[in-house]
Amino acid sequence: MAVFHYRVHKGEDISEGMVEAPNLEAASEILGDRGLSIISIEEVSGEGKKFSVNLAMFQKVKPKDIVVFSRQLSVMISATLPIVQALKILIKQTDNAYFKTVISEIADEVDGGQKFSIALGKHRKVFSNFYVSMIKSGETSGKLDEVLQYLADQLEKDYDLRSKIKGAMIYPVFIISGLLVVGVIMMIFVIPKLTEMLTASGQELPIATRILIGTSSAMRNYWWLMLIIIIALIVGFRYLLKTKGGRKAWDLFLIKLPVFGKLFQRIYLVRFTRSLATLVIGGVPLTTGLKIVNEVVGNTAYQAVIEETIKTVEDGESVAKVMLDSPIVPNLVSQMMSVGEKTGRLDEVLSKVAEFYSREIENIVANLTSLIEPFIMVMIGVAVGGMVAAIILPMYNLANQF
């Protein structure tokens, strides 16, 4: 198969892109079948093809782009605008070049008679299984505009939640990174000069000073070994996370962590409850919804609980049965799900649980930010105190000998 770059004309619009075909004639036929008038078409060389594939690895669509796309498309469809025309309008309004290409390809697929959900499903890198399933349910129920609007609202909530968590972590990460950099510079360049006089004096040095001198010497003489060890640890950790047992142990460790474990647990629970509520509201069958949510939740400990739940639901049991006995699912979630199932209002109950835990996450993040600041100050105080004990006090003792 060869790759061809094309420029085409359709109506008043001119667009360009790539098409894969066995030869030039086949590529022209594919574009002709899409109702496109070819301006130019040429084969991309093997080297160009390799470059474009490598470049595609770095191309991505931000969650915010998907939110805007969903909201604008919902407005246009509710205004009875044909979906192909709406997609072509969105191509012009999108700034992301890669996303422009994706929307253009989807528009061509739909214009050729393909279902919107199927066309979206061909771009799993951009549109998740969760998103595609919701669109499919909207097509089936004839409420695509409402589903798109609801999707935009839910995705926006997820985006806001991630932004708040990232925003809260920027300050401590920046300060700690700065301290590490300053510490390494001092150990390699400053400490040797400060301790040179102490080592030359021949006096017996305190244990803190000897540890400081030894650490500084090791960092100056064996920095390459330390770098190899750090790289090996990172590679080994990444490899461990790819194994089933390693991933399971790490995911369980995250939710058992002191202080931060509660935050991680709430994040996973919000993903589960909000996503399942959205799917149930969209008319997706419960077992199908659970299978989709299993891919979204992002923690193997919770995925194991969801998998067991799927089996019990398929056997005709209650959706809350497994969760009632699970130590990692709070009683609030399992009890509320049980009530929602009995009353036939599972979607409403899940939405309320998601809102409750979203507020809890915001409170935890706010409290963590307040706790981290004094913790950093204590770290700085300990570091400065250590320096004083290891360098200034021996110098003071040395001066008193004269």
In the structure, what pLDDT confidence band is assigned to residue 11 with cuts at 50, 70 and 90? Answer: low
| 85 or 369: which leads in pLDDT | 85
Most confident range, picked from 127-141, 218-232, 368-382 = 218-232
Query: Quick one: pLDDT at residue 240?
Result: 93
In the structure, what pLDDT confidence band is assigned to residue 401 with cuts at 50, 70 and 90? Answer: low
Query: Quick one: pLDDT at residue 224?
Result: 92
Query: Quick one: pLDDT at residue 51?
Result: 43
2-16, 68-82, 203-217, 318-332: least confidently modelled range: 2-16
Residue 2 has pLDDT above 90, yes or no: no
Query: Quick one: pLDDT at residue 43?
Result: 76
Residues 247-260: tens digit of each pLDDT: 999 999 999 988 78
Residue 219 has pLDDT above 70, yes or no: yes
Phi, psi of 308 (to 5 degrees): -65, -40
Token couple for 135: 């669109």
Residue 46 has pLDDT above 70, yes or no: no
Give the C-alpha distances (Å, rounded to integers) separating 232 from 2, 55, 227, 236, 239: 40, 28, 8, 6, 10
**Which residues have C-beta within 8 Å of that of residue 132, sequence separation ≥ 6?**
117, 120, 121, 124
Residue 50 has pLDDT above 50, yes or no: no
Query: Quick one: pLDDT at residue 59?
Result: 67
Query: Quick one: pLDDT at residue 1?
Result: 60
Query: Quick one: pLDDT at residue 387?
Result: 77
Residue 56 has pLDDT above 50, yes or no: no
The pTM of this model reads: 0.71
Q: What is the mean pLDDT of residues 140-155?
A: 83
Judge contact between 254 and 261, C-beta under 8 A: yes
Domains of the chain: 2-56 (no CATH), 63-156 (1.20.81.30), 169-402 (1.20.81.30)
Residue 182 has pLDDT above 90, yes or no: no
| 357 or 57: which leads in pLDDT | 357
Among 121, 69, 114, CA closest to 95: 69
Query: Quick one: pLDDT at residue 12?
Result: 60
Query: Quick one: pLDDT at residue 301?
Result: 92
336-350, 356-370, 387-401: least confidently modelled range: 387-401
16-30, 233-247, 289-303: least confidently modelled range: 16-30
Residue 57 has pLDDT above 50, yes or no: no
| 208 or 252: which leads in pLDDT | 252
Query: Quick one: pLDDT at residue 253?
Result: 93
| 47 or 187: which leads in pLDDT | 187
